[in-house]
Amino acid sequence: MIGFRRFSIPITILPQIWDLLSSLSALQSSGKAWCRPGQKAIFSRGSTWGIAEAVRTLLKSRNKNRGIVFLPDYFCNHALIPLRLQQVQLVFYPITENLNPDWSLLNDLVSQYGSPDMFILVHYFGFPAEITKVIQFCRQVGAELLEDAAHVLIPFGDIGKHSWGTVFSPYKLLPVPKIGILVTSENREIIHETYDKKKRVDINTWKWIGKRLLQSFLTHYKISWRSQKVIPFELDTEARFEENSPVNILSLQLLKILESKLESYKTTRRMYYKNVEEQILSINNDVASPLFPSLPEGVCPYLFPIRLDQNIIEYVYYRLNAVGIPAQMWPALPAEVKEKPFGHKIAIKLRESILTIPIHQSLTKHHIECIVSNLRDAIRESLQTK
């Protein structure tokens, strides 16, 4: 097994010092890299607020004070906080093993709750969902389609082409402070929450820069900086809630600098994804497999999701984290889903059987070698102790 100092593999994407310096005199990003012709980009403090603003705008255009939103049951509960602040009924539709809507149940939900105003489709882990049936369904019931592309680097294929709007989360795939983008028609006026004037830079951005520079230094010299405490496997994790606020100028300048590197980032992530995939497939077993059967052209993977037998996933989770590999589970599911396990069996099963590992562009080839070596060993060890 390849040796590697504990806690020296970064889970976060680390900025280059030169990019930070260059951003001081750069233009601000307009978000056009995420737009199709005839579209515009609206920035917010994370895509969760973009979703909320999209729903608020749609309901106002329909002269409604209340609305119905259909969204997948395999969804991060924390991301729903801004949406829950509105007068909307959230209806969680079941998904299938391949992460697409379970069409055998959608019409029943319409009969039970009524036609949705907004239908949210998620492109999980950067892979495109099947959108043709969704478009037909939305036309049939009079709903607008909102694509959740928080795991997608930039639009490709049909992503963002046929929907009312699409939300992106650049900070999840790029070394920038928390930024969300809502892309919609350039003729549509989006209703924003009231907040102060955009600042050149704010205290949170300075903290982000300082923290990332320190992490870059420690990672470069292989100095331990991550906490040795591992989040308990059975614990549903929840991120800290942040109020919406304007994205500051420096963050948009840094985003502009990084836009020229998007293709190289995608190339690196695809290469690392294939390296991990090859190693998993080389293990002749029926307890571990990539979540997706292939890596389609154009896809920039967000993470590497592994489907593991529920008898071994806990062992693999602790085994990888013990040597400093930040393996993670999907965040907490919505309470409405957990309270009705019979109706959301697959979402709960996926939550309990998918492990993700980082493959971002801040990692080195040696990091990936360490990850795949320890992953392979962890799976084999788990089979021996099973």
Q: Cα-Cα-Cα-Cα dihedral of 131, 137, 138, 139, to 10°?
A: 110
pLDDT at 230: 82
Would the pLDDT of 346 be above 90?
yes
Calpha distance 64→45 (Å, rounded): 26
pLDDT at 201: 78
pLDDT at 159: 98
| CATH among 3.40.50.300, 3.30.930.10, 3.40.640.10, 3.40.1010.20 for 19-185 | 3.40.640.10
> Mean of the pLDDT values across residues 13-32?
96
Q: How far is CA 293 from CA 98, 261, 277, 334, 347, in A?
A: 10, 28, 10, 27, 19
> Mean of the pLDDT values across residues 4-30?
87
Q: Using 50, 70 and 90 to split pLDDT, how confident is the model at 3? A: very low
pLDDT more than 90, % of the chain: 80
> Mean of the pLDDT values across residues 119-147?
98
Of 227, 216, 349, 217, residue with least CA distance to 291 = 349
Calpha distance 200→347 (Å, rounded): 42
Calpha distance 55→58 (Å, rounded): 5
Would the pLDDT of 85 be above 90?
yes
Mean pLDDT over all residues of the chain? 92
**Per-residue pLDDT tens for 369-382?**
999 999 999 999 98
Q: Between 262-281 and 365-385, two packed helices, what is the crossing angle to 10 degrees? A: 30
304's torsion region: left (phi>0), alpha (psi -120 to 50) or beta? beta
Q: Between 313-322 and 365-385, two packed helices, what is the crossing angle to 10 degrees? A: 140
Calpha distance 298→260 (Å, rounded): 17
Please state the domain extents for the chain.
Answer: 19-185
**Per-residue pLDDT tens for 236-268?**
766 666 777 788 999 999 999 999 999 999 999
pLDDT more than 70, % of the chain: 93
**Per-residue pLDDT tens for 184-218?**
999 998 876 644 456 777 888 999 999 999 999 88
Calpha distance 154→34 (Å, rounded): 6
Q: Using 50, 70 and 90 to split pLDDT, how confident is the model at 341? A: very high
Calpha distance 127→273 (Å, rounded): 13
Would the pLDDT of 340 be above 50?
yes
Q: Using 50, 70 and 90 to split pLDDT, how confident is the model at 174? A: very high
Calpha distance 191→59 (Å, rounded): 10
> Mean of the pLDDT values across residues 14-31?
96
Would the pLDDT of 141 be above 70?
yes
DSSP H or E segment with residue 345: helix 345-353
Of 221, 55, 212, 242, residue with least CA distance to 143 = 55
Residues with Cβ within 8 Å of 113's Cβ and at least 6 positions away in sequence, in order, are 68, 89, 91
Range with the lowest mean pLDDT among 50-54, 94-98, 240-244, 282-286? 240-244
End-to-end CA distance of the chain: 21
Strands (E), 207-293: 288-290
pLDDT at 227: 66
pLDDT at 2: 43
Calpha distance 119→142 (Å, rounded): 10
pLDDT at 197: 54
What's the whole-model pTM score? Answer: 0.95
Q: Using 50, 70 and 90 to split pLDDT, how confident is the model at 220? A: confident
CB atoms within 10 A of CB 256: 18
**Per-residue pLDDT tens for 279-332?**
999 987 789 999 999 999 999 999 999 999 999 999 999 999 998 899 999 999
Calpha distance 165→186 (Å, rounded): 11
3-state helix, strand, coil in the chain (%, to 5): 40, 15, 45
Residue 101 DSSP code: B
